[in-house]
Homo-oligomer: A and B are copies of this chain.
Amino acid sequence: MRLLSSLTPLGQHFSFRLRIVISFQSCNFPRLFTMASSEESLRNTLSQKQSAVDAQANAVRALKAAKAAKAEIDAAIEALNGLKIEKASIEKKLQAVVTGVGGDGALNRESFRQAVNNTLERRLFYIPSFKIYRGVAGLYDYGPPGCAVKSNVLAFWRQHFVLEENMLEVDCPCVTPEAVLKASGHVDKFTDLMVKDEKTGTCYRADHLLKDFCNEKLQKDLSISSEKAAEFKHVLAIMDDLSAEQLGAKIKEYGIVAPDTKNPLSDPYPFNLMFQTSIGPSGLLPGYMRPETAQGIFVNFKDLYYYNGNKLPFAAAQIGQAFRNEISPRQGLLRVREFTLAEIEHFVDPEDKSHPKFTDVANLEFLMFPREEQMSGKSARIIPLGEAVAKGTVNNETLGYFIGRVYLFLTRLGIDKNRLRFRQHLANEMAHYAADCWDAEIESSYGWIECVGIADRSAYDLHAHTEKSGVPLVAHEKFAEPREVEKLVIAPVKKELGLAFKGSQKNVVEALEAMKEKEALEMKANLESNGEVEFYVCTLGKNVLIKKSMVAISKEKKKEHQRVFTPSVIEPSFGIGRIIYCLFEHSYYMRPSKGGDEQLNVFRFPPLVAPIKCTVFPLVQNEQYEQVAKVISKSLTLSGISHKIDITGTSIGKRYARTDELGVPFAITVDSTSSVTIRERDSKDQIRVSVEEAASVVKDVTDGLRTWENVWSTFPHHASAAAED
């Protein structure tokens, strides 16, 4: 986040993982810049009302001191109470405005999140890592159902992107030598600003403390003036652009102290977020745990280009672990120290960013939030993707194609399309070299979360590695016919230069040859008009006098057989853990039990991601039914449908509840030896099918070959008994 300033060439590439869109205010983005008029007028009214209350309270006191008549005092008190009620009403309105939705929205979000996380942790979707050793902040395990969801999400990612698009998948190590991450810029720039409790040494992220302070003031202190409120909002908006010094000055100005101890804080200083280690036994080869998987692809560009028959465009992909040594992780599963990334690097000719399959996605429509709409205070709105590309809102077809594919990927997983938007980076969020960048943001109880970054990074990364490694990472376009091009030719006359500069001749020759076209043509003009020219030779640290006889500068026509260029790269980068967490929130709901006496948890996962596709229940504990359950289980295994038999004697209603809470879409209940029922999780509809058909019906619906509606209209319905819920 702190890297998003346009001064930081790496900002855009690093932005993913770093950014969680600040808070709910940012849904109405312009409020970060100009305060919404309702809020401003409410703050002003509140301030006036406060003055009126104070004045009336003084009046009451004065009447009491003057021992005025009781009736008079009572009337004054009544007026004071009236003013207080009016003030409370304004406060309530203001509270509602600053916390977003209807006053207790924040509270609802908190309690919703609590309910989801309780269920997730109780059913072992995830577990705080190393729990028996009191855990480590920012590290989580996926337990059995979470692990199954993750593996389904990754399998679908591979199907949807790698296989369908014929991408070249690679698998590189996490341990990475320093040279690679020096070239990419991570060694120097992948930092967060940190402050320390001056007494205990506890570390905090400087921007977090400032952000918390401003948010706290804005949301809980209704007495601040509208000017002060505007200032805090401004600070929140520009926080990512603040230097260490500016951040430190703000912390001092607001008197912010260590939250746990109230001790004073150190000045902010940068802390590199990579886990450092040492490769081999000598201690001489520093290494890091990779902060992203992309670099492994960039350094292999040459081989991959060759593998692709030296043809562009092509895409390479990688799924793997990445690491960030967060200063103080918060926000649970959303900001962790180790996470799975899935990244695509699509290499393309910078002169042709069209995409042959763009028409496949051009008709998709979804929430987009272009830069201009953010700046002018509008909201995200539904835009057809074809229109966004045609109008130039989205920079090019390839970028647009990936936006469309990401939309399809996320919604097929079960992300609610009404809580998914594509937000374009603002100018100050984007690196100077980036052509365009859009984030797929998903709304969760934490706000809008950046889950996929889709960026046109131009040639930046390949350039950087070409420069540092000395290996040209370039592509070639062979011309059908040789093409004539004009080339600048600088020909130093060594004999003349040798006579004039003796031992320094070599430096002068090199400096002449290194001139850029503009400089050379200026020299040519000067030599032609004046016969000589002053010329600065940096390796000598001084000017020398170049005469017309010493160098010949000309433009010549040459034939070229090919064009050599550095490809542009379009990078969709997926934070798998974040997507999964948002999916958990979007899939979760509660519904009353049949008796209405308790609330039951359900995850409405589509079969594609459900951790288990089907449970098999013998209705009562009996040898025959268990035998049938085993037969069905065997068919399900043969069909590759993950499932579980539950032969506990628990009531069928309880078993359904248990399976709903894991998001299992189908339950087969064995209540006879010839036919069984299949229940769909969300509708609770039940059909009756023969034992032989059961597995194939579940398989067909799971694989998307049939819909439940289709099955429902084909098979006889089963009315559940009271006990079966």
Chain A residues numbered 109-127 whose CB sits less than 8 Å from any CB in chain B: 124, 127
Q: Most chain-B Cβ atoms within 10 A of its Cβ — which of A203, A303, A309?
A: A303
Q: Does A168 count as interface, using CB distance less than 8 angstroms? A: yes
Cα separation A275 to B323 with both chains bound (whole Å): 14
Q: A172-B141, A338-B173 are in contact. Are A307 and B124 (CB under 8 A)?
A: yes
Contacts A277-B289, A648-B309 given: A130-B299 contact, CB under 8 Å? yes
Instruction: Point out the residues of chain B lying under 8 angstroms from A28, CB to CB.
Output: none
The complex places the Cα of A277 from the Cα of B274 at a distance, in Å, of 10
Verify B164–A637 contact, CB threshold 8 A: yes
User: Which one, B133, B174, B642, contacts A177 given CB within 8 A?
Assistant: B133
7 A-B Cβ contacts within 8 A?
A: A124-B307, A130-B179, A131-B299, A132-B473, A136-B287, A143-B170, A164-B637
Q: Would you call B640 and A325 a contact (CB within 8 A)? A: no
A304 to B150, CA, bound (A): 18
Main SS of chain A's interface residues?
mixed
Contacts of A337 in B (CB 8 A): 173, 175, 279
In angstroms, Cα B280 to Cα A194, docked, is 12
Does A366 make an interface contact (CB < 8 A)?
Answer: no
A173 touches B129 (CB 8 A): yes
In A154-172, which residues have CB < 8 Å from any B CB?
155, 158-159, 163-164, 166, 168-172
Residues of chain B within 8 A of A276, CB atoms compared: 277-278
Q: How many residues of A contact B (CB 8 A)?
A: 80
Residue A471 at the chain B interface, CB threshold 8 Å: yes
- A278 CA to B337 CA in the complex, in Å? 12
Q: A175-B289, A280-B325, A280-B327 are in contact. List 9 more A-B contacts (CB 8 A).
A: A124-B304, A127-B303, A133-B468, A136-B279, A136-B285, A141-B170, A151-B169, A164-B637, A280-B326
For residue A262, give the distance in angstroms from its CB to the closest CB of chain B. 20
Rounded to whole Å, the gap between the CB of A308 and the closest CB of chain B is 9
Residues of B close to A471: CB separation below 8 A: 132
Is B279 within 8 A of A133, CB to CB?
A: no
With A279-B325, A325-B279, A642-B163 already in contact, the answer to whether A299 and B172 are too (CB < 8 A) is no
Q: Tell me, in angstroms, the Cα distance from A337 to B173 when the chains sit together.
A: 9
Distance of A298 from chain B, by nearest CB (Å): 9
State whether the Cβ of A139 lies closer than 8 Å to any Cβ in chain B: yes
State the 8 A-B residue pairs at the shortest beta-carbon distance, nearest first.
Answer: A142-B171, A132-B469, A144-B168, A132-B471, A203-B281, A173-B338, A141-B172, A147-B169
Set B150, B169, B179, B300: member contacting A171, Cβ < 8 A: B150
Q: Are B327 and A175 in contact (CB under 8 A)?
A: no
Contacts of A282 in B (CB 8 A): 201-203
A446 within 8 A of B: no
Residues of B contacting A280 with CB < 8 Å? 137, 203, 325-328
The answer to whether A281 and B289 touch across the interface, beta carbons within 8 angstroms, is no
A492 within 8 A of B: no
- On whether A132 and B307 interact (CB within 8 A), knowing A175-B338, A275-B175, the answer reads no
The one of B132, B163, B299 that contacts A133, using a Cβ cutoff of 8 Å: B299
Chain B's closest residue to A338 (CB) is B173
Task: Please determine whether A637 and B163 come into contact, CB atoms closer than 8 angstroms.
Answer: yes
**A136-B338 CB under 8 A given contacts A164-B637, A303-B124:** no
Interface string of A455-474 (1 = CB under 8 A from B): 00000000001001101010
Interface residues of A (CB under 8 A from B): 124, 127, 129-133, 136-137, 139-144, 146-148, 150-151, 155, 158-159, 163-164, 166, 168-177, 179-180, 194, 201-203, 271, 275-282, 285, 287, 289, 296, 299-300, 302-304, 307, 309, 321, 323, 325-328, 337-338, 465, 468-469, 471, 473, 637, 640, 642, 644, 648
Which B residues touch A299, using CB under 8 A?
130-133
How many subunits of this chain does the assembly comprise? 2
Contact, CB under 8 Å: A144 / B127: no
Q: How far is the CB of A125 from chain B (nearest CB, A)?
A: 11
A648: nearest chain-B partner, CB-CB: B309
CB distance from A142 to the nearest CB of B (A): 4
Q: Once the chains bind, are A151 and B158 in contact (CB under 8 Å)?
A: yes
B132 and A465: CB pair below 8 A? yes
Say how far A111's CB is from chain B's closest CB, in angstroms: 25
CB <8 Å contact, B307 and A174: no
Q: A300–B194 Cα gap in the complex (Å)?
A: 33
Task: Evaluate contact between A175 and B127: CB separation under 8 angstroms.
Answer: no
Chain B residues with Cβ under 8 A from A202's Cβ? 282
Return chain B residues, CB-CB under 8 Å to A637.
163-164
Once the chains are docked, how many angstroms separate the CA of A139 from the CA of B163? 26
Given contacts A127-B300, A282-B203, contact A144 B169 (CB under 8 A): yes
Point out the residues of chain B lying under 8 angstroms from A303, CB to CB.
Answer: 124, 127, 131, 143
Residues A175 and B139 in contact, CB atoms below 8 Å apart: yes
Q: What are the residues of chain B within 8 A of A132 when measuring CB–CB?
A: 299, 302, 465, 469, 471, 473
* CA of A640 to CA of B180, assembled, Å: 36
Distance A129 CA – B163 CA, assembled complex (angstroms): 24
Q: Which B residues touch A309, using CB under 8 A?
A: 648
Q: Which residues of B have CB within 8 Å of A648?
A: 309
The answer to whether B159 touches A640, judged by C-beta atoms less than 8 angstroms apart, is: yes
- A156 nearest CB across to chain B (Å): 11
Shortest distance between the CB of A501 and any CB in chain B (Å): 38
**Which of B171, B175, B201, B338 contacts A147, CB < 8 Å?**
B171
Instruction: Give the residue among A172, A321, A471 with the most B Cβ atoms within 10 A.
Output: A172
A204 to chain B, nearest CB (A): 9
CB-based nearest B residue for A296: B141
A641 nearest in chain B by CB position: B163
Q: Inside 8 A of A327's CB, which chain B residues have their CB?
A: 280-281
Contact A281-B169, Cβ < 8 Å, known A133-B469, A159-B640, A323-B175: no
A637 to B166, CA, bound (A): 10
> In the complex, how many angstroms separate the beta carbon of A165 from the nearest chain B beta carbon?
10
Inter-chain CA distance A146–B131, complex, in Å, is 36
In the complex, A420 Cα to B130 Cα: how many Å? 37
Is B271 within 8 A of A281, CB to CB?
yes
Q: Are B143 and A281 in contact (CB under 8 A)?
A: no
